[in-house]
Amino acid sequence: MGNMATEIVAFLLTISGWILVSSTLPTDYWKVSSVDGTVITTATFWSNLWKTCVTDSTGVSNCKDFPSMLALDAYIQVCRGLMIAAVCLGFFGASLALVGMKCTKIGGSETTKARLTVLSGFHFILSGLCCMTACSIYARRITTDFFDPLFVAQKFELGAALFIGWAGSVLCILGGLVFCLSLSDGFSLRQVTYFFQSKNMILHLSSGSVALGRRNKAPLLI
């Protein structure tokens, strides 16, 4: 029962993390224009992995999709690929977890279900690492441009989507680790008993010395 409860907690962690990771992909605010406190701004610029937009003071937004994939910056292409991989890995991990958890009636034997659960954990860990890497690469580019004194274009700050992605990554990794650690409970340990046959040998201890004699014979005295 304890192991089943642990798997349920791990499943809730991973599903929550996967939902956050999935919601990060279409979220608008990956980066938001930096605003100086002494400057009155009439527009806010923001971007995600798919488009760049500007919102004026009346709340009207005008967006422009990014051009062809071949014309994109390399870091955006990498982030897109990692985020899509994170969502797909999380989906497969959730499917394997539903089959492998002990509280479900499908999946086969105990050993098979334990293996599926561990495989699910690896999928969620990889999903979390992919999302965390994508968010970190994107954030590094923002901070590099922000602190570069020679960068004269519009500077941006970290958007809410990055923090959501980091939080989802942590939940996926934690839940995946719990699934992987459940491997020891999924397999029954074979108990091996060693029998010392007294039929052939008898061990005698006398005065700190050891002598061997055969059964049904008098002990050897030293």
* CA dist., res. 91 & res. 121, Å (int): 12
pLDDT in tens, 30-80: 998 876 554 556 678 888 898 888 887 777 778 888 877 777 888 999 999
Q: Are residues 99 and 204 located together in one domain of the fold?
A: no
Question: Cβ distance 180 to 188 under 8 Å?
Answer: no
Structurally, how many domains does the chain consist of?
2
**Number of Cβ within a 10 Å radius of residue 208:** 6
Q: Are residues 199 and 117 located together in one domain of the fold?
A: no
Range of the domain at 200: 193-222
DSSP annotation of 71 reads: G
Please report, for the domain that includes residue 178, its CATH number. 1.20.140.150
Rounded to the nearest 5 degrees, what angle is found at the Cα of 30, between the Cα atoms of 28 and 31? 115
Report the predicted TM-score, pTM, of the whole model to 2 decimal places.
0.76
Q: Are residues 157 and 207 located together in one domain of the fold?
A: no
Q: Are residues 96 and 35 located together in one domain of the fold?
A: yes
Rounded to the nearest 5 degrees, what angle is found at the Cα of 165, between the Cα atoms of 141 and 113? 135
Q: Are residues 82 and 29 located together in one domain of the fold?
A: yes
pLDDT in tens, 119-158: 999 999 999 999 999 999 999 999 988 888 887 777 888 9
Q: Are residues 171 and 201 located together in one domain of the fold?
A: no
Strand 209-213 relative to strand 202-206: parallel, antiparallel, unpaired? antiparallel
